[in-house]
Amino acid sequence: MLVAVVVGSGIAAQQLSPNDVGLQLLQNSTATVFGLTVLIVIFGPISGAHFNPAVSLADWFLGRRMGGGLSLKELGTCVASQTLGAIGGSVLANAMFDVGTSISSKERVTPGHLLGEIVATAGLVLLIFSLAATKRSSLAAPAVGAYIGAAYWFTSSTSFANPAVTAGRIFSDTFAGIAPGSAPAFVAAQLIGAAAGVGLLVLLFPTDSRAAQDVVVPQTADKRA
């Protein structure tokens, strides 16, 4: 559903404002802010709102340090589910707008774009885990939505910040797409950003970071994403 929101709103923006890329980005980012916030509210109690392999990987890493978080098996299940779900969301969005599923030809790799992905992902990971570390995970839905909305505009890459979303967006040759050749570099930058975010967490919250596990948001059942 997250990728359906991103790709679907991108297609709608492209159709509604074909000659104004800035307006397209505004429409796309606004829909993503609201859609992501709602999805975190819906799926947080079920899975901890693990939509992002970079976040799940950080959760697993912090859990190894603290004796909690995702297990390696759960991490693998999460990443596979996130990636398949992202591809399915892209296919769904294409079908809703009758554009057909096709491989994107939109090349995005430049040094600036990759730096943007590092910054965007580092900030996202720091935000999510700092909320968990300071027992404010109830704010995750609006905070994460707001951050991604802002990062659409202050990063040159428009803040993919999610390896699964990157994979899903390959399958739509539209405003929100990314060419297969650009995706590996984006994913690598996102993983570097995730590592930087974890490093900043430990630096800024040296004591509280011990509690930063089982995120994105608290679950009502005793289970992990």
Q: Where are the domains of the chain?
A: 2-211
CB atoms within 10 A of CB 33: 20
**Secondary structure of residue 102 in the 3-state scheme:** coil
Q: Collect all residues with Cβ–Cβ distance below 8 Å to 216 and sequence separation of at least 6.
A: 40, 44, 48, 49, 50, 51, 55, 128, 137, 140, 144, 225
Question: What Å distances lie between residue 184 and 91, 122, 163, 191, CA to CA?
Answer: 20, 18, 9, 11
Question: 209 by DSSP, 3-state: which?
Answer: helix
Architecture label for domain 2-211: Up-down Bundle (1.20)
What pLDDT score was predicted for residue 224? 42
Q: Which two tokens stand for residue 142?
A: 């609006």
Closest CA to 54 of 223, 211, 186, 154: 186
What does the pLDDT read at residue 114?
98
> How far is CA 105 from each of CA 17, 29, 170, 180, 182, rounded to the nearest angstrom?
20, 21, 8, 8, 10
Q: Are 224 and 73 in contact (CB under 8 A)?
A: no
- Paired tokens of 197: 């975010």
Task: Note the pTM of the prediction, 2 decimals.
Answer: 0.91
Distance between CA atoms of 40 and 215, rounded to whole angstroms? Answer: 11
50 exposed, middle or buried (CB, 10 Å; 0-12, 13-18, 19+)? buried
pLDDT along the chain (225 residues), means of 10: 97 96 97 97 90 94 78 93 98 96 96 98 96 90 97 97 98 95 98 97 81 56 43
